[in-house]
Amino acid sequence: MENRNLYSVTGLFDTPDEIVQAVEAVQKEGYTKYDVNTPYPVHGLDIKMKLPPSKLGYFALALGLTGAIGALFFMWWSMSMDYPVVIGGKPFFAFPAFIPVTFEVTVLIASVGTVLTMLFLYFRFPNLSHPLHDTDYMKSVSNDKFGISIEAEDSLFDVVRVKKLFEKLGAKRISEINFDIAELNKKPKIFELKFMVFLLFTAIIISGASYFTLNKLLYMEPFNWMMEQSRVMPQSHSKIFKDGFGMRNPVSGTVARGSMPYMFAGQPDIAGEKLVNPFIPDEKTLTLGKKKYNTYCSPCHGNFAKGDARLNGQFPNPPSLHSDKVRTWTDGRIFAVITEGQNIMPSYAQQLTPDERWAVILYVRALQRAVNAKEDDLK
Amino acid sequence: MSRNEENKKFWLSLDDLKNSLNFAKAKENEFAEGMTEEFNLDAQPSHSRRKFLALAGASAAFAATACTDYRDKGEIIPYNKKPDDLTIGVANYYASTCTGCSNTCGILIKTREGRPIKIDGNPDHPISRGKICAAGQANILNLYDPERLKEPLSGANGKFKPANWKNIDNKIIEAMNKASADNKEIAIITHSVLSPSQKKLFEDFKLKYPTGKVYSYELFNDKNRQSAWKQCYGESNFPVISWGDANVILSLESDFLGNEGNFVEQIRLFAGKRNVDDAKNFNRLYVAEGGMSLTGMNSDHRLRIKPDAQFEFVMSLLNEIIFVRKVTSTTLNPSLSAKIGQYNLKGITSKYKLSENVLNSLVNDLISNKGKSIVYAGDILSEEVHIAVNALNDVLGNNALYNKERGNVKQMPLSENAEIESLINSMNGGNVAVILHFDTNPVFHFAPDYGYASALKKVPVVVTMCENENDTSVRSNYVLPIHHNFESWGDFQTRTGLFSLQQPVIAPLYNTRQKESILHLLIGGNAENYSEDGYHQYMMKNWEQNIYPSLSVASDFRSFWFAALHDGVVNYKAPAQTIGEIYTSANELLHYPDSKGVILMLTRNYTIGDGRFANNGWLQELPHPVSKVTWDNYASISLNTSKQLGVKIGDYIEIKASGKKLSVPVMIQPGMADGVVSIELGYGRKVGGTVGSKVGFDGIQFISKKNYTPMLISGISISKASGKYKFASTQEHHAINEPEVMEFHKQRSIIQEGTVAAYIKNPDFFREGKPKIEDISIVNRVQYTGTKWAMAIDLNKCVGCGICVSACNVENNVPIVGKDMVKVGREMHWIRVDRYYSDSPEEPETSNQPMLCMHCDDAPCENVCPVVATNHSPDGLNQMIYNRCVGTRYCSNNCPYKVRRFNFYNFRNHFADGYYNKDSLSLMQNPEVTVRSRGVMEKCTFCVQRIMEARQEAIKNGVPLKGSEVKTACQEACPAEAITFGDAHEKDSPIDYIRNHKLGYHVLEELNIKPNVTYIARLRNKAAEGQS
Amino acid sequence: MSVDYTRELSVIEGRPTFAEITDLISKPLETRPNKKYYIALTISVTLMLFGATCLGLTFVYGTGMWGNNNPVGWAFDIVNFVFWVGIGHAGTLISAILFLFRQKWRTGIARFAEGMTIFAVMTAGLFPLIHVGRPWLDGWLFPYPNQNSLWVNFTSPLLWDVFAVSTYFTVSFIFWYVGLIPDFATLRDKTVNNIKKVIYSIVSLGWRHSNRHWHHYEMVYLVLAGFATPLVLSVHTIVSFDFAVSILPPYFVAGAVFSGFAMVQNVLIFVRKIFNYEHIITLDTLEKMNKIIIVTGSMVGYAYAMEFFIAWYSGNPIETFAFVNRAFGDYAWAYWTMVSCNVIFPQLFWIKKIRRSIPIMFIIGVLVNVGMWFERFVIIVTSLSRDYLPSSWGIYTPTVIDTGILIGSFGFFFTWILIFIKTMPVVSIAEVKSVITGGQPTHHGGAQ
């Protein structure tokens, strides 16, 4: 006939004094698994119940220290290890300036941490399915009564004895609290269709919203990321000009600083007479010449100006530059060819600045010299 | 090795399957000679397959992401055919000539990818020496002005419709032919003619159309000076003065440092004599004036004297010098001497309450510096004053200071008033058939009592050539849009022995034509054969035939021509100007009125020229160098006069003169003479575009053809009028409002000054008795080794012209905020010129101080930025990361110099409904400088883009970066060379020297934030007291 | 002195039973709100919406909509921020510091004051977020790993503010919530409405009034109070660093408490009238608050005087001018409003009659808040408008938008207050029960 679902037997009292006496009695009886429920903390009960002093204070201390150290470490790491920047001439680890943040983080971690520890570690909250809930007992203790509930699990527990004890103590109302069977056997149904649909729905909403925000909204007025700049960058478009080119051509007939126009267009021979190479074949010029030659000339003229193109006949190979003709040409004459091009060879004026052209010529001279050296080179 | 085998397999397997013959061939020439030398199979990494897979995966991923719409950064548009000598991303420079006024300064135009983005002086130009004025700097805004006329218009009384060139040309040619047929006048109205080729064009025009006449005028002109010179020396070219040699300068109502003559050159020469390391040769500037001019601000001694008293003043000086001090090097005409005898210095002193000490020392200085001093009268003063001044200079033997080598050249004299009047008469008489306004705006400029506007109605064909719509164009039948300065060809000569050439730096933006080409076409008489290149060819021909031969240069014409274009100038030896004996009698001086009553003084403004730059926001927003007022002109009066009228700053006063009335707000200007009202001309355009219309008040209406001195109107009446006006000023007027704070800049040792005498006596006087600032700090500071950028500003040289501000605006894409925003104190200038008054509001002593970011070592702004948007670069720059800035404005609050500027709006959008956000403006922006958005803090960067350019160059050439080679925009522009910039750690560099100069100091040193802009204390060249 | 603290007086007048207390306090939560309430709500919501509009305009067009300019980079925005943070302080002070000092009289007002703290800090927290030029980048003020791999500047007082204010908000919130749990449980067991029951059950986390819980609960409450006390001091000290004036911090805190108490007092006067809590929020309590107002007010006054003395004594002309300018410069009117409201009027509280007269104390309370708002205005705007370089001096004039946002902030604050008093017990049920006569066992030194 014993009630399997019995959780506890409870008794209600009216005044703080009564409950204090009751607790003393219960304690004397030797019950351990019991609890006292009062609408507000009644002073001294914890002593009567022989509860050990709460350890939460230590938690607070520990958490606070973690916060402090963590904050300091993070500031040190971010400001002097990960991305050091000079700020106001301060050293990277400017301790005095870090104190306020350290303090704030300490307090934050400590207080939040302690509360969470209490609620979730100590009290195992949230717990809405405790048998005491929704009982008249609970209703009364949360309002104006003081109650004791002795749990069935207690070794000394026996319904009759407990009830007797309560009567002796003059409890106003004595009642048995049972586990709610339904509650116990209830299985939460996660894979219910409704729930799944709901999940799906929220997923779509969230992803849609975030897509709109991140890819559209954030690039509308007034949001401004200074990515669209109202200035014309090189090789960019411009609405002003009909042709849409942001880059313009200089007006013909004008002369920019440091660039005199080529005077001998169409008269390579005159150029040959008039133009003189401003450079002498020294280290610097030759390296420059070599670089430019290999970049622009060698594909057709070959690395050694032998006219051995790398273009495998997709393009008629040019003649060798070691021919007497070219060797007897003046630098100016070659300059004219590079500048204007000849036959199928196009002008290289765009690719090579005049100085570079002269350098290339010197390098070609060096090649020519190398191929058929003179006597005095041996000396 | 075996692995490599596998690799080979892997690489070739596909092909190995089919071992056909043609494949073998292919293989052959795949490995043709020289093709695969560097291609070593074994060198390939062993696991390239996995690499490949990884890559494939990656690319797939990218492809996937690409499908989602990421921000499109626009397409890349290269040149179709890259022009020679142009590297993308590297600036090209073109020498040209500025046509903003009649000084024809040589300019160097910086272009990027064929777009002009910055103007500076042409360093090879012997006159401008790489410097130009604020307007010249900001002129680039006119090129890209959204409101430029984009195509020709035809119509009448203010209503126009677009037309095409050909029709208009035909109509005009027709009209002109008809005119010459029935002998009606064809008038061209132009500004002063400065170009030989243009002059020739006009001559051709007269040949082609016999009834054609050319009239030229300037609102601000030096007619009085010229005619006076003619009276004295017979020839009409007032010589150029070599200011650089003058030890003593007496300036009479002349703003030769501010806006009169070629003031950029004059500032350079003047400041050249203010070198602290040569303190003994400091020049001394006396200014006697009624208004408070920029020159007055820089004077060592200043006398407040009404402009109409100047004649007496000069005469008494003459008397004192000739008869009292018995100094003379020339014999004057007896009648003149007699006249002089009627005046005496004592009389003047008491009559106008002038300081005796100053007068004494003035006379002493003039005498003791015979031949090394100059007396210079302002353009607005009457012919008599100029004659007297010529005489005075002659007596003092100051002819020595007339620069004989580089005299002035006038291609054509300006038209006399009589000519203008007769033109208008014949217009009214219906004898003028065609009028061509050659980029002029006479309706605005001519004295109203000419009745030009009404006369225009009687002219059948009125043609106006202009860049923007103006007061004249709206009254014409044809409006022809013309090229801007930077789209035009030209040649100019304003000094002997020097030509200055002008070449276009960008093809015409719109369907416009150069005004000369238009005229050239009209002369040609056939609308069909217009070519954009027409005037270019015409000019070259003119040079080849007329000018080139006369120069007798060795090289052939083409190379000569290209060299000339390259340099922008042609120098040649010209015969020196000869200045004969002065002969002048008293009868030129008879009718000079004595000073009486309140006098109205119409002066030049400092920024917008004769109104032609009215639509240029940058110039409108450039603070007035004296009053710091922007976007306005006003009637300035002295404190006493204001008390008499019972007006405060901003109250309206009504000015009545010969029937004309104007009610205009007053500015109480310290240093004004009592009983003088001065108004700057050029403001108050009725038709001046979105920016320029209805800005300020039009004082031109007071000019009358009847007036003997058009700019000085005596016998006017002023009275308090109703209404209050708020000026958009960048600096408050504490001098008047709160006298108790007047000396703060001295107390807080923001301005520290001394006298030349003290400095010569003891060069250390400045440092002595100053507390040494110790470097106290609770943490050990960062030390800057290596390059450390720093600037120094010499306050002896700085005259406060504000050209640096203009240059900075252009270089750094500084936005225009507009009048309303300046009113609430949101101007954006990165560098400002602070002006402080000391002593009394009546006789103030002014100090200028350019103020910009100090790039402090321990910058207070950096500490407080929560997001590290402003921080310090290793080379000592206080840098601003615009994209990181969230806009808390905390840095600005914490900046003791208040040099940070916050974008409270997207100003380009906010100003006049996005007027400066139009596409054309984007071409103007410096591509190297971020265009800041709303809500972002900005400030001077020491032109970091230029530093980076220099560093790039140094790295390219493999040489260490030399700080002294970097020039900031303000430094480059400063005509006084007051600014030095460079690497403070570069031994014996100018900056290193100046930072340790005995006169160097930092503003707000006591804050111990280690600013990096050093100021050289100003030495005033005061004359020793009471010697006689 | 009216109250003698050597003897514990009853905090609650009369001798209500526990049940009565429960009913009384939960009454507003169970009855429909009356007309007065709706009127109040309409007004405050209107104000809030007005502010929201102004805010929207600012967001779209930029901070240019305000009067701020180049010398005066901060004005109403930060003034309001500091003002509201200050208001917040009273709450923590009452609930934490008075708790540590075992001041039982606090029980009647603690819960409400805590609520007010939270709403005040919420209001304050808005301003740092909206005052920036590009509000959508506010996230950058927090140190989170980002694609720029940039961190924030931990040496910036403004960043300290971010930490201080967010910490302050979180801690106050937790403090407040922990206090609410038992009351929620009580309501859960009292209510008959199912929806309410569900909600209360959730928020009360299943509290069972178990003494094994009360035991830890009290410890944690003590710990929290211990943390909150230095926190509240630190917060305003840090805020005062924004203006980098050395002598500010202590009197900034005093000022904060000062204005906070005035605000609490003002609102309580209404609350106790509307819900007739006269015998729970007793006149004695109000009087005690007024006494604190005198004390803090005098501290503030002393600080004002001291500032001048130091300025003069330091002999630093710039600092001297800064203070002379406050009193006689362009913003003298603001300064004298501040002085009269903060120093002179509160002195009336020396008179017991005034201390205990509801209407007068209400008016003085309002004045104190006005005064404190102007104190911040003077400190921020006046100093900025007259900086080191006379050349860069400027004047600040507020725009409609500025005022709109200020008004809106009040609307925001009171809207929350109104929602709060209708949805949660404004007085702590458990605590009141624990302090009424007979609330504690006789042979344990409880209340008697």
With contact defined as 3+ CB pairs under 8 Å, the chains touching C are: A, B
Instruction: Tell me the backbone φ, ψ of residue C195, rounded to 5 degrees.
Output: -55, -50
**DSSP-assigned beta bridge partners for residue A181:** none
Q: Which of residues 48-77 of C touch A (CB under 8 A)?
A: 59-62
Secondary structure class of B706 (helix, strand, coil): coil
A375 — pLDDT class (breaks 50, 70, 90): low
CB-CB: which of A91, A230, A250 is closest to B86? A250
How far is the C-alpha of A334 from the C-alpha of B185, rounded, in Å?
A: 61
Is some CB atom of chain A closer than 8 A to the CB atom of C433? Answer: yes
Check pLDDT > 80 for residue B28. no
* Residue B22 neighbours by CB under 8 Å, 6+ apart: none
Residues of B in contact with C67 (CB under 8 A): 824
CB-CB: which of A60, A110, A142 is closest to C185? A142
Check pLDDT > 60 for residue B31. no
> What CATH number is given to the structural domain containing A324?
1.10.760.10
Smallest CA–CA distance from A311 into chain B, residue: B35
Check pLDDT > 70 for residue A90. yes
* Strands laid side by side in the B1000-1001 sheet: B979-983, B789-794, B1013-1016, B1000-1001
Residue A321 structural domain: 268-378
Burial class (CB in 10 A: 0-12, 13-18, 19+), B508: middle
**DSSP-assigned beta bridge partners for residue B95:** B108
ipTM for the assembly: 0.89
**DSSP-assigned beta bridge partners for residue B651:** B724
- Written as one string, the DSSP assignment of B761-816 is H-TTTTTTTPPPPP---SSPPPP--S--EEEEEETTT-----HHHHHHHHHTTPPP
CB-CB: which of B894, B905, B1007 is closest to C61? B905
Contact assignment for A254 to B504 by CB distance below 8 Å: yes
Smallest CA–CA distance from B938 into chain C, residue: C70
Shortest distance between the Cα of A88 and any Cα of chain B, in A, equals 4
In a domain, A227, yes or no: no
Q: How distant, in Å, are the alpha carbons of B211, C81, C264, C350, C432 from that of C267? A: 93, 20, 5, 22, 20
How far is the C-alpha of B718 from the C-alpha of B702, rounded, in Å?
A: 13
| Pair A282, A184 in one domain | no
Contact status, residue A331 vs residue A246, Cβ threshold 8 Å: no
Asked which of B482-486, B638-642, C26-30, C192-196 is least confident by mean pLDDT, the reply is C26-30
Smallest CA–CA distance from B30 into chain A, residue: A312
In a domain, A33, yes or no: yes
| Pair A27, A135 in one domain | yes
Shortest distance between the Cα of C152 and any Cα of chain B, in A, equals 5
pLDDT tens, residue by residue, B824-878: 999 999 999 999 998 888 889 999 999 999 999 999 999 999 999 999 999 999 9
| Pair A172, A285 in one domain | no
Contact assignment for B68 to A215 by CB distance below 8 Å: yes
| Pair A174, A272 in one domain | no
Secondary structure class of B295 (helix, strand, coil): helix
Per-residue pLDDT of chain C (448 residues; tens, 9 = 90+): 343 443 444 556 667 788 888 888 888 888 888 888 889 899 999 999 999 999 999 999 999 999 999 899 999 999 999 999 989 888 887 788 888 888 877 887 888 889 999 999 999 999 999 999 999 999 999 998 888 888 999 999 999 999 999 999 999 999 999 999 999 999 999 888 889 999 999 999 999 999 999 999 999 999 999 998 889 888 888 888 777 554 566 777 888 888 888 998 898 888 888 777 777 788 888 898 899 899 889 988 988 888 888 888 877 787 788 888 888 888 999 999 999 999 999 999 999 988 889 999 999 999 999 999 999 898 889 888 888 898 999 899 999 999 999 999 999 999 999 999 888 888 888 888 888 877 787 754 433 3
Q: Taking residues B35-54, what's their average pLDDT? A: 49
Which amino acid appears at position A255 of this protein? V
Residues of C in contact with B887 (CB under 8 A): 63, 132-134
Q: How big is chain C, counted in residues?
A: 448
| Pair A162, A305 in one domain | no
Shortest distance between the Cα of B784 and any Cα of chain A, in A, equals 9
In a domain, A157, yes or no: yes
Q: Which of A99, A254, A275 would best serve as a mutation to test chain B binding (most B beta carbons within 10 A)? A: A254
Closest alpha carbon to B363 in B306, B399, B316, B415: B316
- The alpha carbon of residue B934 and the mean position of all alpha carbons in its chain are separated, in whole angstroms, by 28
In a domain, A14, yes or no: yes
How far is the C-alpha of C370 from the C-alpha of B600, rounded, in Å?
A: 52
> How many CB atoms neighbour CB B957 within 10 A?
8
Last residue of a domain, one of A167, A190, A213: A190
Q: What is the pLDDT of residue C57?
A: 94
Name the token pair of C227: 């943390």
Decide the pairing of beta strands B660-668 and B651-657: antiparallel
Contact assignment for A229 to B934 by CB distance below 8 Å: no
How far is the C-alpha of C311 from the C-alpha of C318, rounded, in Å?
A: 9
Contact status, residue B783 vs residue B897, Cβ threshold 8 Å: no
Question: Mean pLDDT in chain B?
Answer: 87
With contact defined as 3+ CB pairs under 8 Å, the chains touching B are: A, C
Q: Which of residues 183-242 of A touch C (CB under 8 A)?
A: 218, 221-224
Q: What is the pLDDT of residue A227?
A: 82
Q: Taking residues B974-978, what's their average pLDDT? A: 94
> Cis link prior to A96 (omega < 30° from 0)?
no
- The alpha carbon of residue B147 and the mean position of all alpha carbons in its chain are separated, in whole angstroms, by 21
Residues of A in contact with C121 (CB under 8 A): none
Contact assignment for A56 to C59 by CB distance below 8 Å: no
Check pLDDT > 50 for residue B103. yes
CB-CB: which of B83, B563, B863 is closest to A250? B83
Q: What is the pLDDT of residue A2?
A: 55
Last residue of a domain, one of A190, A224, A249: A190
Enter the pTM of the model.
Answer: 0.89
Residues of C in contact with B834 (CB under 8 A): 389, 391-392
> How many CB atoms neighbour CB B76 within 10 A?
10
Residues of A in contact with C227 (CB under 8 A): 60, 107, 110-111
> How many CB atoms neighbour CB B860 within 10 A?
18
> How many CB atoms neighbour CB B836 within 10 A?
23
How far is the C-alpha of A50 from the C-alpha of C385, rounded, in Å?
A: 66
| Pair A29, A153 in one domain | yes
| Pair A51, A166 in one domain | yes
Query: How many helices (H) and strands (E) would you count in chain A?
Result: 15, 4
Smallest CA–CA distance from C236 into chain A, residue: A100
Check pLDDT > 90 for residue B443. yes
Asked which of B60-69, B766-775, C46-55, C178-187 is least confident by mean pLDDT, the reply is B60-69
Q: What is the pLDDT of residue B27?
A: 42
* Residue B118 neighbours by CB under 8 Å, 6+ apart: B109, B110, B140, B810, B811, B926, B969
CB-CB: which of A100, A130, A222 is closest to C59? A222
Q: Which of B33, B77, B124, B890 would best serve as a mutation to test chain A binding (most A beta carbons within 10 A)? A: B77
Q: What is the pLDDT of residue B252?
A: 94
B154 — pLDDT class (breaks 50, 70, 90): very high
CB-CB: which of A234, A237, A349 is closest to B88? A234
Decide the pairing of beta strands B240-241 and B402-403: antiparallel
In a domain, A250, yes or no: no
* Residue A204 neighbours by CB under 8 Å, 6+ apart: none
Residues of A in contact with B930 (CB under 8 A): 226, 229
Name the token pair of B251: 């300036």
> Cis link prior to A126 (omega < 30° from 0)?
yes
Which amino acid appears at position B228 of this protein? A
In a domain, A113, yes or no: yes
* Region for B451 from its dihedrals, namely left if φ exceeds 0, alpha if ψ lies in -120 to 50, beta otherwise: left
Check pLDDT > 90 for residue B488. yes
In a domain, A229, yes or no: no
* Residue A87 neighbours by CB under 8 Å, 6+ apart: A94, B862, B863, B865, B868, B871, B872, C153, C155
Q: Which of C391, C396, C400, C401 would best serve as a mutation to test chain B binding (most B beta carbons within 10 A)? A: C391
DSSP A194: H
Percent of chain A clearing pLDDT 90 (strictly above): 27
> In chain A, how many domains are there?
2
| Pair A161, A293 in one domain | no
- The alpha carbon of residue B239 and the mean position of all alpha carbons in its chain are separated, in whole angstroms, by 24
Secondary structure class of B686 (helix, strand, coil): coil
Is some CB atom of chain A closer than 8 A to the CB atom of C146? Answer: no
| Pair A276, A161 in one domain | no
Last residue of a domain, one of A164, A190, A216: A190
Smallest CA–CA distance from A228 into chain B, residue: B73
Q: How big is chain B, counted in residues?
A: 1028
**DSSP-assigned beta bridge partners for residue A256:** B94
Q: What is the pLDDT of residue B26?
A: 42
Q: What is the pLDDT of residue A1?
A: 42
Contact assignment for A226 to B908 by CB distance below 8 Å: no
Q: What is the pLDDT of residue B50?
A: 55
| Pair A174, A274 in one domain | no
3-class secondary structure per residue, chain C: CCCCCCCCCCCCCCCCCHHHHHHHHHHHHHCCCCHHHHHHHHHHHHHHHHHHHHHHHHHHHCHHHCCCCCCCCCCHHHHHHHHHHHHHHHHHHHHHHHHHCCCHHHHHHHHHHHHHHHHHHHHHHHHHHHCCCCHHHHHHHCCCCCCCCCCCCCCCHHHHHHHHHHHHHHHHHHHHHHHHHHHHHHHHHHCCCHHHHHHHHHHCCCCCCEHHHHHHHHHHHHHHHHHHHHHHHHHHHHHHHCCCCCCHHHHHHHHHHHHHHHHHHHHHHHHHHHCCCCCCCCHHHHHHHHHHHHHHHHHHHHHHHHHHHHHHHHCCHHHHHHHHHHHHCCCHHHHHHHHHHHHHHHHHHHCHHHHCCHHHHHHHHHHHHHHHHHHHHHHHHHHHHCCCCHHHCCCCCCCHHHHHHHHHHHHHHHHHHHHHHHHCCCCCHHHHHHHCCCCCCCCCCCCC
Is some CB atom of chain C closer than 8 A to the CB atom of A374? Answer: no
| Pair A272, A186 in one domain | no
* Region for C361 from its dihedrals, namely left if φ exceeds 0, alpha if ψ lies in -120 to 50, beta otherwise: alpha
Check pLDDT > 90 for residue B486. yes
Helix-helix angle C194-203:C157-190, to 10 degrees: 130
Q: How distant, in Å, are the alpha carbons of B798, C14, C112, C205, C218 from that of C103? A: 70, 19, 16, 29, 16
Name the token pair of B535: 């005037």
Euclidean distance between the first and final Cα of chain C, in Å? 22
Largest separation between any pair of C-alpha atoms in chain B: 121
Contact status, residue B827 vs residue B621, Cβ threshold 8 Å: yes
DSSP B344: -
pLDDT tens, residue by residue, A186-223: 776 777 888 899 999 999 999 999 999 888 888 888 88
CB-CB: which of A229, A261, A308 is closest to B931? A229
How far is the C-alpha of A274 from the C-alpha of A373, rounded, in Å?
A: 27
Smallest CA–CA distance from B859 into chain A, residue: A88
- Written as one string, the DSSP assignment of B356-368 is HHHHHHHHHHHHH
Tokens 């400045």 correspond to what residue? B766
CB-CB: which of A231, A257, A261 is closest to B94? A257
Q: Which of residues 255-284 of C touch A (CB under 8 A)?
A: none
Instruction: Tell me the backbone φ, ψ of residue B89, rounded to 5 degrees.
Output: 90, -5
In a domain, A324, yes or no: yes
Top-confidence range, A172-176, B298-302, B836-840, C248-252: B298-302
Q: Taking residues B234-248, what's their average pLDDT? A: 88
DSSP A93: S
Check pLDDT > 90 for residue A185. no
Q: What is the pLDDT of residue B264?
A: 94
Q: What is the pLDDT of residue A184?
A: 66
DSSP A318: P
Name the token pair of C391: 């050349």
Instruction: Count A/B contacts: CB-CB distance under 8 Å.
Output: 199
Q: What angle do CA A90, A95, A99 make, to 5 degrees?
A: 125
Q: Which of B740, B750, B867 would best serve as a mutation to test chain C binding (most C beta carbons within 10 A)? A: B867
| Pair A26, A174 in one domain | yes
Closest alpha carbon to B640 in B836, B349, B841: B841
A379 — pLDDT class (breaks 50, 70, 90): low
Tokens 């000519």 correspond to what residue? B419
How far is the C-alpha of C58 from the C-alpha of C131, rounded, in Å?
A: 9
Closest alpha carbon to B680 in B756, B626, B643: B626
